[in-house]
Structure 1
């Protein structure tokens, strides 16, 4: 493995981030199955529950993994093309789950005669989905297809990185607004302001999502944890291979041992 500055700190934060993200997924599963009506696809409340579940799993947890996948030092020996496919695959999967979650919430609203796109949560959320789709299309077109010129890739890279972090932050903001909105409208007796068990449980879920987002953003913005450029990686790998090939064989061969025994 190539050396990384503050590797132990990176590993600790990465494990903690993934653990918090996994616990967030467990919390949202517990919320929809225990406190809400479960899961279904009949236009009722059970269909709506797919929305928070798939958003947390795909749009938050998987997207967070996709953001930091380049920074995993044990993948630095993998080709850049392979990492591009992994990064793009995780983002495409996250987008598919987010799209299904939108279908579920719109179908629920239409079945229950609830207006669509009236809240700030819906505005921010739909904007994030649209920007995310553009991010994926442009990313695949510029970085995966071999037809794009090198200078275009270099110019677009800062925009690609910034927009990815901006979308991820917007998704977390929309999720926090959404779960608060759901608690205010969904809790009747006792009400949200009375802090029933469901309200406390989901508030903890919101804190977990915030912590996960903060950890991912911290890991993704540390310059010392950035994947080295390909020329540096190749030179270091070649140097390591050369050192191994030039390493003297300290173990005497069988002929030498035989001669020494006869002497």
Structure 2
């Protein structure tokens, strides 16, 4: 039953994650003019799409690797590589998203890192980078002792969930900032809730629901990879036991 509920949650996550990405793309394409890589506003438009895709959806997928029941048995090393590789892909997409906004600001002579959204976002990316490099050095390379890994694991898990929470907050504040900026000179103000605002707000709520479901799965003790003493009991779950 527990495994069935897990896979039902994963199916919901895949659907919600796809909707988060597609709704962000649609918002930018339909209301903001599409995409380019030329220093114009169309280059900035890559920023929200890449940040939602990398920092929220792909990051979440990487974080949930060890929740797959298949990872409970057999060697852990392949799952470690998968976990690190997926996080690296999420980080690359995030860096591209940052490059899009910084390059746009440079072309338009707009100051960088002046808003609360930018402070929150750059803090999130910095913590993500530290988290990845620390995880790679301690948990993937063979030099670290079991004692050191055991000592650092709770911090690694805590900051993993913290980075996701900060990423969600960054996305929500970014959507809000973008709407204020794009609608302030339009015929319909943000406060009148035009169709763009309704759609973008709904996209933001999708990100929140997605993130909460990810955090729930991460924190659910019954879905965590068991310690060595619990492997035999969890193998029964994997094969349809209680």
Using structure 1 for the length normalisation, give the TM-score: 0.85
Identify which of 14, 19, 23 aligns with 2:15: 19
CA distance in 2, matches of 1:62, 1:211: 15
Larger Rg: 1
Identify which of 154, 169, 173 aligns with 1:158: 154
Which residue does the alignment assign to 1:254? none
CA distance in 2, matches of 1:35, 1:78: 49
Q: How many residues align?
A: 235
Matched ranges for 1:78-227 at <5 A: 78-187=74-183, 188-227=186-225
CA distance in 2, matches of 1:91, 1:63: 6
CA distance in 2, matches of 1:189, 1:78: 61
Q: Does 1:47 align with 2:18?
A: no
Which aligned segments of 4 or more residues in structure 1 are displaced greater than 4 angstroms?
Answer: 234-237
Deviation at 1:149, TM superposition (A): 1.1
The answer (yes or no) to whether the contact 2:39–2:103 under 8 Å persists in 1 is yes
Secondary structure, aligned partner of 2:34 = coil
Deviation at 1:17, TM superposition (A): 1.7
Deviation at 1:232, TM superposition (A): 4.1
CA distance in 1, matches of 2:168, 2:105: 22
CA distance in 2, matches of 1:59, 1:75: 23
CA-based RMSD of the aligned residues comes to 1.8
Q: Does 1:76 align with 2:72?
A: yes
- Cα 1:138–1:192 change in 2 (3 A) is same
Secondary structure, aligned partner of 1:88 = helix
CA distance in 2, matches of 1:127, 1:184: 22
Using structure 2 for the length normalisation, give the TM-score: 0.92
CA distance in 2, matches of 1:64, 1:202: 21
Deviation at 1:7, TM superposition (A): 2.2
- What whole-Å deviation, never above 9, does each CA across 1:143-168 have from its counterpart, x for those lacking one? 11001111100000000000010011
5+ unaligned residues in a row in structure 1: which ranges? 241-263
Secondary structure, aligned partner of 2:8 = helix
- What whole-Å deviation, never above 9, does each CA across 1:195-236 have from its counterpart, x for those lacking one? 111111100100000000000000000111111224543797
- What whole-Å deviation, never above 9, does each CA across 1:65-112 have from its counterpart, x for those lacking one? 111111111333352000000100110000001011111101111211
CA distance in 2, matches of 1:209, 1:85: 27
Secondary structure, aligned partner of 1:227 = coil
